[in-house]
Amino acid sequence: MNDYFDIHLDDGQIRDISSIGLAHLGDAVYELLVRSWLCTHGKATGRGLHRSAVELVRAPAQAARAERLLPLLTEEEKAVYKRGRNAHVHTIPHSASRADYLKATALECLLGDLYLRGQRERISELFAVMMEEDEHAT
């Protein structure tokens, strides 16, 4: 039986997953982190919780957070980020520019890659940096 809460794939297996596939997984990782962050920061009311989550997971918000991370990424992480940024996306939401959407996809691709490598601590480090400004606002 596979433990999908604690999955670890090797480099070849991860390379075989498309950048869109990694971003799809990374989107879920990011959403779980955002929801956890909101609940632990006292924003656990129904409507307010949903609105806050939606605002944080929108492409423009993700793109801004991705910019904060770029100087901190290792060369390997930068390569994964670029792989996601260069993904062939066909549909861009009306609420996002193409540039923001590609940055958000790149961030999600990175998070998906780190998740599949079992690098939870690194994900937490990067997420903390992403949320620093919001931390001070609460």
11 annotated active-site: no
| Contact call for residues 31 and 61 (beta carbons, < 8 A) | no
How far CA 106 is from CA of 40, 92, 115, in Å, comes to: 26, 14, 14
d(CA 130, CA 55): 14
Q: Active-site residue among 6, 27, 113, 134?
A: 27
- C-alpha distances (whole Å) from 62 to each of 9, 53, 117 are 26, 12, 22
Least Cα distance to 84 among 64, 109, 66, 104 occurs for 109
Catalytic residues: 27
